[in-house]
């Protein structure tokens, strides 16, 4: 054996020994992980208190605590059907709250040492600047779940004295809007809605402050039209529901692509039905009204406190009262309330004062006025309602139609009170009475109705 062969054989043996030792080290490493670290991971999962704890995101193994922590927050928010996730810095900790059925549920608290890492991770996922801490930032995350399902998270980051606060609005993609009957539309209101869906032109508005389900109502109305027989276009901020054959468009204020800019261009696209996500300014209001009186059906939303107040709001945006009477066909005012949990709600007999109030307001709709019984949330609660006493949501509605007498009043610049009295005379059921009927039908509690509509209503 020559020197070259000897050195080659020795090198081969040395490489083989290194591989065996390396393999032993890897085996030892995994054994140590399985015996010791595995228990710490189990403990960590118990602390996270997650039934759907994920440490795999897509097809990549996520081996960092922050990524696992955020996955845990997101998935549990989806499981609880939360509408928003709030990540809020405090003086001594960093807390997470979920908005479920319109109310906050405390979720977890984290040490301040994790605050910056969590916010930075969200900024990376939303393609935001991680070095900007002084200015607000907005973005969007496309979060993919199992089974090729996806959820959009609209991100808003705002600086506070304790650090940056982050709010994520959950928008489920490709989800069909619920039926209005499921949301609590009563037959007397459904008749009015179906009647005006037969109109060939005009504007239908859904009004009330943010978070009252206006977009859901508009998309239900849109779903009643055949998109293959009509040219339907929507402009939204953001796009929430996706309807096949409907042209959905997202506004981009950063490049001056606003509702008004889109409306001017859209009228050259031969539209039949137009949905404007929100009327925010004078220009958008005038363009929407003009579109509705030139042979188009227009749906939109407006932030007002009642159906009658919507007329005044449009005049405040300098829309001519004559154009209002020519364009508006129906105004739907709505508000969402929590439904009582069917498993733990309890029945009770209201006192005499409450009973007289109910009979005075909605007694004409009741067959048996002597035996009125109501339900309320149980103080003991149950697991199915996450110990809140409520599960799901239901809507309170009032629908204003433009009659001939209403037109005359609008042209005379009638007050809000005059408009509301005339609307009731024309057959509008006020939202407070609609809410009381939901209480009598045991869908929600009197306390919830008062908290939603206020003591004035």
| Of 147 and 31, the one with more pLDDT | 147
Q: According to the model, what pLDDT value does residue 45 have?
A: 34
Contact 59, 46 (CB under 8 A): no
Q: How confident is the model at residue 375 (pLDDT cuts 50, 70, 90)?
A: very high
Residue 230 has pLDDT above 90, yes or no: yes
Q: Tell me the mean pLDDT in the region 256-270.
A: 89
Name the DSSP class of 252: B
Q: According to the model, what pLDDT value does residue 374 have?
A: 95
pLDDT in tens, 55-110: 333 334 433 688 889 999 999 999 888 999 999 999 999 999 999 988 899 999 99
Contact 265, 306 (CB under 8 A): no
Range of lowest pLDDT (20-24, 31-35, 216-220, 375-379): 31-35
| Of 235 and 54, the one with more pLDDT | 235
Q: According to the model, what pLDDT value does residue 156 have?
A: 95
Task: Output the six-digit token pair for 16.
Answer: 């083989």
pTM, 2 dp: 0.78
Q: How many other CB atoms are there within 10 angstroms of residue 272's CB atom?
A: 16
Q: According to the model, what pLDDT value does residue 121 have?
A: 93
Q: How far apart are CA 399 and CA 189, in angstroms?
A: 7
Among candidates 299, 257, 264, 307, which has minimal Cα distance to 278? 299
pLDDT in tens, 145-195: 776 778 889 999 999 999 999 999 998 765 677 777 888 899 999 999 999
Residue 2 has pLDDT above 60, yes or no: no
Q: How many other CB atoms are there within 10 angstroms of residue 132's CB atom?
A: 13
Please compute Rg for the chain using Cα positions.
29
Q: How far apart are CA 151 and CA 173, in angstroms?
A: 6
Task: Output the six-digit token pair for 161.
Answer: 């004295």
| Of 245 and 16, the one with more pLDDT | 245
């Amino acid at each position: 054996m020559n020197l070259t062969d000897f050195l080659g054989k020795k090198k081969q043996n040395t490489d083989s020994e290194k591989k065996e030792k390396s393999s032993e080290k890897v085996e030892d490493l995994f054994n140590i992980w399985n015996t010791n670290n595995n228990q710490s991971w189990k403990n960590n999962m118990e602390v996270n208190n997650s039934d759907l704890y994920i440490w795999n995101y897509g097809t990549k193994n996520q081996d960092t605590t922050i990524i696992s922590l955020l996955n845990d927050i997101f998935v549990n928010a989806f499981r609880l059907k939360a509408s928003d996730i709030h990540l809020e810095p405090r003086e001594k900790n960093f807390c997470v709250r979920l908005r479920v059925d319109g109310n906050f549920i405390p979720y977890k608290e984290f040490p301040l040492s994790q605050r910056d890492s969590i916010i930075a991770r969200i900024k990376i996922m939303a393609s935001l600047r991680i070095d900007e801490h002084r200015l607000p930032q907005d973005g969007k995350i496309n979060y993919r779940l199992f089974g090729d399902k996806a959820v959009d998270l609209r991100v808003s980051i705002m600086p506070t004295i304790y650090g940056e606060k982050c709010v994520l609005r959950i928008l489920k993609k490709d989800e069909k809007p619920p039926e209005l009957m499921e949301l609590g539309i009563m037959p007397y209101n459904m008749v009015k809605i179906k009647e005006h869906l037969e109109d060939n032109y005009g504007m239908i508005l859904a009004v009330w402050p943010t978070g009252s389900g206006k977009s859901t109502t508009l998309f239900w109305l849109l779903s009643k039209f055949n998109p293959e027989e009509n040219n339907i276009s929507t402009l939204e901020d953001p796009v929430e529901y996706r309807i096949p054959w409907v042209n959905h468009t997202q506004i981009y204020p950063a490049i001056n692509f606003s509702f008004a800019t889109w409306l001017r261009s859209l009228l050259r696209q031969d539209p039949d039905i137009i949905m404007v996500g929100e009327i925010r300014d004078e220009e958008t209001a005038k363009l929407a009204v003009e579109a509705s009186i030139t042979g188009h059906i227009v749906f939109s939303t407006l932030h007002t406190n009642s159906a009658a107040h919507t007329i005044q709001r449009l005049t405040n945006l300098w829309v001519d009262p004559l154009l209002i009477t020519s364009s508006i066909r129906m105004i739907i005012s709505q508000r969402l309330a929590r439904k009582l949990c069917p498993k733990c709600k309890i029945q009770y007999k209201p006192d005499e004062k409450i009973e007289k109030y109910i009979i005075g307001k909605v007694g004409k709709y009741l067959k048996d006025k002597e035996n009125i019984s109501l339900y309320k949330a149980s103080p003991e609660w149950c697991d199915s309602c996450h110990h809140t006493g409520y599960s799901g949501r239901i809507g309170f509605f009032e629908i204003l139609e433009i009659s001939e007498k209403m037109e005359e009043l609008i042209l005379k610049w009638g007050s809000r009170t005059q408009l509301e009295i005339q609307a009731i005379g024309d057959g509008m059921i006020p939202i407070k009475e609609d809410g009381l009927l939901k209480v009598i039908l045991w869908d929600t509690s009197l306390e919830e109705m008062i908290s939603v509509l206020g003591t004035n209503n």
